[in-house]
Structure 1
Amino acid sequence: MVCFCFLVDQTRQVQRRKPAAGTCSRCGAGACVADMKTATRFCYVPFYWKSWRAIMCTFCGAVIRSYH
């Protein structure tokens, strides 16, 4: 009997951020507009990237709104 185990993970990375008007609904801190990059890896080899923009909290890091 052969058993295969594959490792798949996904990482989010902030490329750039700029201050934005508004506050976070969770902690009340300020917000910023961030260019995000999501990378999906299969057995430590990246095979899919996606860039998107999000409004996120500067204190807790929560994504308030995303634009795909």
Structure 2
Amino acid sequence: MCFVFVCDEEERVLGTHQAPGTCPYCGGVVMATDVESAWRLCFLPLRFKTKRKYYCSTCSRRLVTYP
């Protein structure tokens, strides 16, 4: 007997805008991108999650914020 689980995560960019502050590495402009991710199991959506990612527009480095 063989079970095949098809899992997939699909990400879609909702919007991009300039965030306040500068990059600590190069001093460039920080951009904020809103991303919606959807986990799917056999084409059935299981979970939708919206998150915000920050990156520098000059050096393209991913930035992490700490609470």
Q: CA 1:41/1:58 → structure 2, altered by over 3 Å: closer, same or farther?
A: farther
Q: By how many angstroms is 1:64 displaced?
A: 1.9
Counterpart in 1 of 2:22?
22
**Secondary structure of the equivalent of 2:64?**
strand
**Pairwise CA RMSD of aligned residues?**
2.7
Letter in 1 for 2:40: R
Task: Report the TM-score, using the length of structure 2 for normalisation.
Answer: 0.65
Task: Report the TM-score, using the length of structure 1 for normalisation.
Answer: 0.65
- Is 1:5 paired with 2:35? no
Identity %: 25
Counterpart in 2 of 1:53?
52
Gaps of 5+ in 2: none
How many residue pairs align between the two structures?
64
Q: Deviations along 1:35-55, whole A, 9 cap, x unmatched?
A: 111110101221111111121
